[in-house]
Amino acid sequence: MIGEEKVRSEDLNLCFEKLMMVAAGNSGGGVKRKGAVITEWKDIPMELLLRIVSLVDDRTAIVASGVCSGWRDAICLGLTHLCLSWCRKNMNNLVLSLAPKFTKLLTLVLRQENPQLEDTAVETIAKFCHDLQDLDLSKSFKLGDHSLYALAHGCPNLTKLNISGCTSFSDEGLGYLTQFCRKLKILNLCGCVKAATDCALQAIGQNCNMLQSLNLGWCDNVGDLGVMSLAYGCPDLRCLDLCGCVRITDDSVIALANGCLHLRSLGLYYCRNITDRAMYSLAHSRVKNKASIWQSMKGRYDEEGLRSLNISQCTALTPSAVQALCDTFPALHTCSGRHSLVMSGCLNLTSVHCACAVQSHRTLNSILHTAH
Amino acid sequence: MSEVDMAVIKPEMMKSYIWLHTADGSIQQVEQEVAMFCPMICHEVIQKGMGSSKNYAISLPQRVNPAMLSLILDYCRFHQVPGRSNKERKSFDEKFIRMDTKRLCELTSAADSLQLKPLVDLTSRALARIIEGKSPEEIREIFHLPDDLTEEEKLEPLKNTTDDPRIRLLNRLYAKKRKELKERQKLKNIEVEEERVDDRSVDDLLSFINGDNGDSKGIKNSKSKKKNRRRKDQQKNTSANEAIKNHNKEPNGLNQVCCSAEVGQTVRAGVGATSNLHDVEDDIFDNKNELDDGDIDDEIDPALKEKIDRYCSYELRKSSKLTVSNEVTMEVEDFARRLNSDWPERMQEILSFGHERKPVHFSLNGNGSLRRYANSEQR
């Protein structure tokens, strides 16, 4: 027995010696000598420690908060951004144990590759992280309305919420959330078919008046009623993605054109019911409101209006309407460098060009002309 | 060079100097352009007119000692020259940073107190690189930090996704060895401390054995290199089993040690279970960190685990300080035997104390025997 053990321990020693050399080389001998313990490093100023922690990855930051009480206190007081998307299996448990510690979190990214998060974790977050402003819960298939209720009560300062792919949320939960999280500016509901209904949109329009960006991609329960309430209630709306919202008609776009004067980006991919009326309304509202827009946004760069429009697969549109739109909004481009007017699948709209495209075309023509 | 001397220097060599004095009282003068590179010194000179003579030397913050000051001035001397290319500066920085961690920490501290942002960035990045990927135990070792978090405050173990499992095996062995060295040093000290230290090493082993599949919430993934581990385990198994069988009655020390280890595991398992055990979780975390690949035995007898859990919760419900009971002693032996655990040299040492059968576990005799065993295992 002893003999065997000797052999084992021999191996152990060899490994140990080798490691000592490696370690000495790498860390500069920091672990070599167990000499006099320096006391200064324990008293490292908090800002310095936080600066160092901000340079490492999230996992190391979490590890560092468990090193000693000084580091724990500093990190728990100072850590504001955390991303746990690298967790493959244990994100739920990790959140359960970390949320009570990191109470000063402002940003928390919990996007999952495979669904791990459960309601208990979100409830814990809501219980401890009251300062939370930015929460990303995308692809959390297992979450239910309990999470939304918890968030409503616990995180009223939310300005950015991403619940795309959370298919189990219902519109009641979402509506409830909006009653409490009124500071929401960016909301991503892509794929939340059950949650994004006209009812919920009405609630959003009523409560979240500071909303600037809303993604309703593939929410096919969204109808005109919802979008009209939204347009009426959220005048500051800048980005709206209605891709795949097949029930939308011109009325929605007209409401948006009239209500959301700061609209910069609109996605109408696959909204087959859209006709020229919508296009003309957008152009018209721009012309009509130019004076008032100037007043309200003096000196700001976004007086150019619509910068990005996606009307792919809107086959009911005709070239004249879209061209009028393109002319009204100088930021819409069809040229290859700054392509922002996307019309793929609209075979009858190939003649629509932005001003710069026309310009280069003209130049080309004149050169050819002189050559003769 | 005193001020009087400076007056007779030829005009071409006329340079203005700034006087600095460090917290320990030593005063030195530095070329002006070099010193002015530090914002704090710059501020003192311009706003308060200090530093022009020995009597009015600028007093530097406490965190700047003369050695650090000379390093910082070297840095300033290089970087304040305008004509250097970025490449030159970068390679200077890389060479400059190469020093042991202790000095790096002091340098960061000193640079921060002088508000020398580029140097603070440089040293912070170097320290960040050192911290990255290390376990808390390793970080504590490197920076000589106290291990003062109670078990409930320790974190759930995290998954280690990218490391080579062989390196992790070596790390674990290294960590064990380090602990043993520490323990031998501490053996001459207080009993209580030693218990804790022992807790760590045993827990070390137990969690290594256990693989923590059911108990813990936070681990396990791929099973690479499992074969290697199994082989190693089996080779050690027979010797370990024999060792255990040789000692029927465990000493008190071992009881406490094993108890705490088990308790530690349950505490990990149960959220909100609190105990005042110190440092047990630390090693669990360490090991889990390193053992993440799941190349440990994961066929744990569920009935046995249940038994352990029951005992652990029983222990928890008692007072915070561990008490010894005979049933637990038997359980521990049973547990160890059944799991075919891997008991390296350290366990043998602990078991050897069982011969003494004294409440004071590590008396002088114990030391003697320990040394004997220690030597034998070294061979």
Higher pLDDT, A199 or B170: A199
Residue B142 lies in a domain: no
Instruction: Return d(Cα B187, Cα B195) in angstroms, integer.
Output: 10
Task: Look at residue B376 in the predicted model and tell me its pLDDT.
Answer: 44
* B 167-206: CB under 8 A from A: 170-171, 173-174, 176-177, 181
Residue B84 lies in a domain: yes
- The runs of H, that is alpha helices, within A32-170 are 46-54, 58-64, 69-78, 91-98, 119-128, 145-154
* B24 at interface of A, judged by CB pairs closer than 8 A: no
Task: Look at residue B240 in the predicted model and tell me its pLDDT.
Answer: 43
Residue A2 lies in a domain: no
Instruction: Return d(Cα B311, Cα B308) in angstroms, integer.
Output: 5
Residues of A with Cβ-Cβ distance to B174 under 8 angstroms:
15-16, 19-20, 23
Q: What is the CATH number of the domain that holds B124?
A: 3.30.710.10
* B352 at interface of A, judged by CB pairs closer than 8 A: no
Q: Is the pLDDT of residue A314 over 80?
A: yes
Q: How many domains does chain A have?
A: 1
Subunit contact A86:B146, Cβ cutoff 8 A: no
Residue B224 lies in a domain: no
Q: Is the pLDDT of residue A259 over 50?
A: yes
Average pLDDT rounded to a whole number, residues A322-334: 90
Higher pLDDT, A343 or B336: A343
Subunit contact A19:B174, Cβ cutoff 8 A: yes
For chain B, give the percent of residues with pLDDT over 70: 38
Q: Is the pLDDT of residue A140 over 60?
A: yes
Mean pLDDT for chain A overall: 84
Q: How many domains does chain B have?
A: 1
Task: Look at residue B153 in the predicted model and tell me its pLDDT.
Answer: 57
Residue A271 lies in a domain: no
* B354 at interface of A, judged by CB pairs closer than 8 A: no
Task: Look at residue A299 in the predicted model and tell me its pLDDT.
Answer: 52
Domain that holds residue B112: 17-132
Residue A246 lies in a domain: no
Max avg pLDDT among A65-74, A249-258, B36-45, B182-191: A249-258
Subunit contact A30:B131, Cβ cutoff 8 A: no
Average pLDDT rounded to a whole number, residues A271-291: 88
Task: Look at residue B304 in the predicted model and tell me its pLDDT.
Answer: 59
Contact A48, A75 (CB under 8 A): no
What distance in Å separates residue A195's CA from the closest CA in chain B? Answer: 32
Of A2, A5, A96, the CB nearest to B271: A96
Task: Look at residue B65 in the predicted model and tell me its pLDDT.
Answer: 86
* B63 at interface of A, judged by CB pairs closer than 8 A: yes
Of B153, B158, B242, the CB nearest to A59: B158
Instruction: Return d(Cα A115, Cα B363) in angstroms, integer.
Output: 55
What distance in Å separates residue B8's CA from the closest CA in chain A? Answer: 44
Q: Is the pLDDT of residue A310 over 50?
A: yes
Residue B128 lies in a domain: yes
Going by pLDDT thresholds of 50, 70 and 90, the confidence category of residue A39 is very low
Sites in chain B below the pLDDT cut of 50: 12, 155-164, 167, 194-200, 212-300, 316, 318-325, 327-328, 332, 335-336, 339-340, 343, 346, 356-379
Task: Look at residue B23 in the predicted model and tell me its pLDDT.
Answer: 85
Tell me the CA distances in angstroms from B379 to B72, B233, B249, B274, B348, one per residue in order.
47, 21, 28, 42, 15
Domain that holds residue A67: 38-79
Residue A54 lies in a domain: yes
* A 35-64: CB under 8 A from B: 37-38, 40-42, 44-45, 47-48, 51-53, 55-57, 59-60, 62-64
